[in-house]
Chain A
Amino acid sequence: MCLAVPAEVVEIHDGEMATVDADGARAKVSVQLVDDVSVGDFVLVHAGFAIEKVDQEEAERTMELIRELEALSGHDEIS
């Protein structure tokens, strides 16, 4: 139901298609379901479609939280 991956829009094509890049992996996806997609936007990709734009600032904040959590936990056993 839910495997969607954030990716950066690197090129827009005719016919409501775009090339996105996730960490170096590139795919061609449809942007039929999202308005106003521009190069540089981040989108969630599911089943070959962009399903929504991702707010980059919020995404950064989450990555911070994740990094913090992992740094704190490290190899300690949490009991």
Chain B
Amino acid sequence: MEKIKSQPGDLTLMEVCGTHTMAISRAGLRPLLEPGVRLISGPGCPVCVTSDTDIDRAIATASIPDVTMATFGDMIRVPGTEGSLADAVAQGAEVRVVYSPLEALELARGNPERRVVFLGVGFETTAPTVAATLLQAREQELANFYVLSFHKLVPPALRALLALDEFDVDGFILPGHVSVIIGSDAYGFVSSEFGVPCVITGFEAADILQAVYRLMVMKGEGQPAVENEYSRAVRPAGNEKALRVMGEVFEPADAEWRGLFVIPGSGLVLREEFRRFDAGSWDVELPEPARDRGCRCGEILCGRIRPPECPFFAAACTPDNPIGPCMVSSEGTCASYFLYCQEDD
């Protein structure tokens, strides 16, 4: 801590992973680090960045009478154009919260008369687990298991942010567990092409502080690089087996990131040979897309503003009554702020 305080400079650092945002808030690090180091949150919450249209599709799919939707708990209260999955449940949709996609497989096996659709959200940490589950479904010749994939990829999102003119951060704190899968080499372009230093780190306060310190040093010395402070689990090439499994089932496609724009090659869709498992290919009726709510989630995800600067924050938009996903997800930037950070007194 003293080492950080003794470093000169006025730095803006972006943490990309929602779990880091939460950890930072829980440990009360933001006020400790200011004013010398300003931590802003990037688009690291796969729930936060799921577009309205995607949520509408999930709700429409779940509302089909013989469908049981299995989903991670994070997605239940995310608002789409006309309400959330939770609202759909109240209207009669059958939705089950699961901890693992393997539970959805169990559901399908035990309920042959239902079509079980697993809602796939998450970055590269989660996509391989869904892919592995789908491979098992194929092996077991299950006829009633499907995946609706809204998975997204981190490196293309970083590239899209870095390419924006107005984007200007001094360093990235990179997601530990995504990196376990994709490896530290995957981020090389951030420092080599864009000159921004990065540190991959774990989720203890000590890990994060270590990352902040290393970023300050790299910035100070003008030697941007990708450093791996989570080497206990992250290797340069990542988990090759997991990447292979993921690649066998999924392929990259363009994807819309809520509050941002369509980022090329940043989403995952099921490959053609898995089409029969793809609930995304179903014909469902979607509501008219909503006019712009006025919520500034996009700017928050980009790190351009912080939650208190959004006019809806803690007023019209609260965890009980969320407008955008930044507040709905318990990991969302605004929800973290609301729950854990110091208010002004």
Contact = CB atoms under 8 A, between A and B. Distances in A.
Nearest to B154: A1
Contacts of A59: 232
A9 to B, nearest CB: 15
A44 B206 contact: no
B89 interface: no
B204 to A, nearest CB: 5
A3 B205 CA distance: 15
B340 to A, nearest CB: 16
A14 to B, nearest CB: 13
A51 B239 contact: yes
Interface string B133-171: 001100000000000000000000000000000000000
Contacts of B101: 47-48
Contact of A55 (B176, B206, B233): B233
Contact of B99 (A2, A4, A48, A54): A48
Contacts of A72: 1
A45 to B, nearest CB: 10
Contact of A33 (B45, B203, B242): B242
**Most A C-beta atoms less than 10 A away, residue of B45, B125, B176:** B125
Interface residues of A, number: 29
**Most B C-beta atoms less than 10 A away, residue of A51, A59, A65:** A51
Interface string B9-22: 00000000111100
Interface string B82-96: 000000000000000
B190 to A, nearest CB: 18
B1 A2 contact: no
Contacts of A51: 125, 128-129, 177, 180-181, 239, 242
Contacts of A52: 180-181, 233, 239, 242
**Most B C-beta atoms less than 10 A away, residue of A2, A30, A51, A65:** A2
B298 interface: no
Contacts of B181: 51-52
Interface string A35-79: 100000000101111011111001101100110010011000010
B272 interface: no
A47 B205 contact: no
B106 to A, nearest CB: 11
A22 interface: no
B253 interface: no
Interface in B63-111: 72, 99-103
B241 A62 contact: no
A35 B235 CA distance: 15
10 contacts: A1-B122, A1-B123, A2-B176, A30-B129, A47-B100, A48-B129, A52-B233, A69-B206, A72-B1, A78-B1
The 5 closest A-B pairs by CB, nearest first: A48-B100, A58-B232, A2-B19, A2-B177, A33-B242
